[in-house]
Structure 1
Amino acid sequence: MTGLDQKTAERAWILLDGAVLDAPRLVYEHDDQPELDYLYRNTPHEGAIEASPCLVKPSPFSRLWSEQARWREHGIILVTDENLYPLADHLRSLLSIRLPDGAFAYLRFYSPTQLPRLMAAFSDLERAEFSGPVTDWLAFQSDGQWRRFRADGNKPVRRASEEGWFALTDHHITAMTGRARDEFIARLARYLSLNDPGRIDTLIQQANSLGFRTEKDVSRYAELTVVHGERINHPELHAVLSSREMPTALRLSEVDKRLAYGVAL
Structure 2
Amino acid sequence: MAATEAFAPAKLNLTLHVTGQRADGYHLLDSLVVFADVGDRLTLTPGPAMRIDLSGPFATGVPTDARNLVWRAAEAAAWCGHIALEKNLPHGAGIGGGSSDAAAVLRAIAGRGAGADVALSLGADVPVCLSGAPQRMQGVGERLSPVPDVPALDLVLVNPGAHVATPDVFRAMDRRDNPAMDVCGAWPDRGAFLRWLLDQRNDLQEPACGIAPAIRDALAALKDAELSRMSGSGATCFGIYPDEVAAKTAAQEIAARHPGWWVVATRTSASPKVS
Q: In proportion to residue count, which structure has more strand? A: 2
- Sort the TM-score into its range (normalised by shorter chain): under 0.3
Q: In proportion to residue count, which structure has more helix? A: 1
Rg larger in structure: 1
